[in-house]
């Protein structure tokens, strides 16, 4: 298991996924939203890689970028449709963030190297980047939701299915962590710690 994880995260720096910093801030407010976006990232990155690999040879050079955007957006819309069938309220809560996933996928640059990579390399790179960014969002949600809302949730309904809900009188919730400012502060602390331990090594 450890060997597989090493292969997945090989050549990935802990800060390489931060091209999606806006996605990280918006999707990590609740664990339910973070899990949904993790699924959206894996779906869009991996299926887009397969679709682009199959269609790349027939795409004309002129206007290829526009066709790639349309194809990736279509893949994301299929995920949104499936989520709508399973849980319409969950889609309503996360629709805007899901709509950003195709943009993040294009900005990551994984589709710009398709002419020089095999299908296995394409899928490996797409899965690695999506999994890394998705897990980072989940980890942030595991910190932000308990401290900010005194709860943990799973996808389902408007605010998710609450697994753990503590009385606010139990201890003072740190509402700042649940806001965008709190997410940026938490991200800053993580970057400082990462740089500190990297320099120490």
Q: Is 118 helix (H, G, I), strand (E, B) or coil?
A: coil
Check whether 15 has a pLDDT greater than 60. Answer: no
* pLDDT tens figures, 146-167: 887 777 777 876 666 666 655 5
CA distance 51 to 27: 26
Decide: helix, strand or coil at residue 151.
strand
Higher per-residue confidence, 95 vs 163: 95
Q: Which residue has the tokens 């949904």?
A: 36
* Rounded average pLDDT over 47-75: 80
Of 5, 66, 21, the C-alpha closest to 180 is 21
Residue 190 has pLDDT above 60, yes or no: yes
Mean pLDDT of 18-22: 69
d(CA 158, CA 166) in angstroms, rounded, equals 19
Pairwise pLDDT comparison (184 vs 16), residue with the higher score: 184
From the number of C-beta atoms within 10 Å of its C-beta (0-12, 13-18, 19+), residue 32 rates as buried
Q: What is the pLDDT of residues 112-155, one digit of tens each?
A: 666 667 778 888 888 988 898 899 899 888 888 888 777 777 78
From CA 39, how far away is CA 105, in angstroms rounded?
A: 14
- pLDDT winner (highest mean) among 50-54, 185-189, 192-196: 50-54
Q: Which residue has the tokens 């331990």?
A: 197
Cα angle 163, 89, 49 (rounded to 5 degrees) comes to: 95
The strand pair at 161-165 and 151-154 is best described as antiparallel
Q: What is the predicted pLDDT for the residue at 152?
A: 79
Q: How confident is the model at residue 1 (pLDDT cuts 50, 70, 90)?
A: very low
Instruction: Supply the pTM of this predicted model.
Output: 0.78
Beta carbons of 122 and 112 less than 8 angstroms apart: no
Pick left, alpha or beta for residue 179 (phi over 0 → left; psi -120 to 50 → alpha; otherwise beta). Answer: beta
Q: How many residues does the chain have?
A: 201
Q: Domains of the chain: which residue ranges?
A: 2-8+19-200
Distance separating alpha carbons of residues 121 and 116, to the nearest angstrom: 10
Calculate mean pLDDT across residues 66-88. 90
């Amino acid at each position: 298991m450890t060997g597989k994880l090493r292969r997945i995260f090989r050549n990935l720096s802990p800060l390489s996924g931060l091209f999606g910093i806006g996605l990280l801030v918006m999707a990590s407010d609740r664990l339910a939203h973070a899990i949904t976006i993790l699924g959206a990232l894996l779906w869009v990155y991996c299926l887009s890689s397969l679709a682009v690999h199959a269609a790349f040879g027939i795409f004309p050079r002129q206007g290829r970028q526009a066709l790639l955007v349309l194809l990736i957006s279509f893949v994301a819309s299929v995920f949104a449709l499936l989520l709508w069938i399973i849980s319409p309220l969950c889609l309503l809560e996360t629709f805007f963030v899901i709509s950003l996933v195709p943009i993040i996928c294009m900005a990551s640059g994984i589709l710009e190297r398709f002419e020089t990579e095999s299908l296995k390399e394409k899928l490996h790179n797409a899965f690695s980047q999506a999994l890394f960014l998705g897990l980072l969002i989940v980890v942030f949600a595991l910190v932000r939701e308990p401290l900010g809302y005194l709860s943990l949730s799973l996808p389902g309904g408007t605010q998710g299915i609450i697994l753990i809900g503590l009385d606010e009188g139990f201890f003072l919730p740190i509402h700042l962590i649940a806001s965008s400012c709190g997410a940026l502060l938490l991200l800053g602390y993580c970057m400082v710690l990462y740089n500190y331990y990297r320099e120490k090594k």
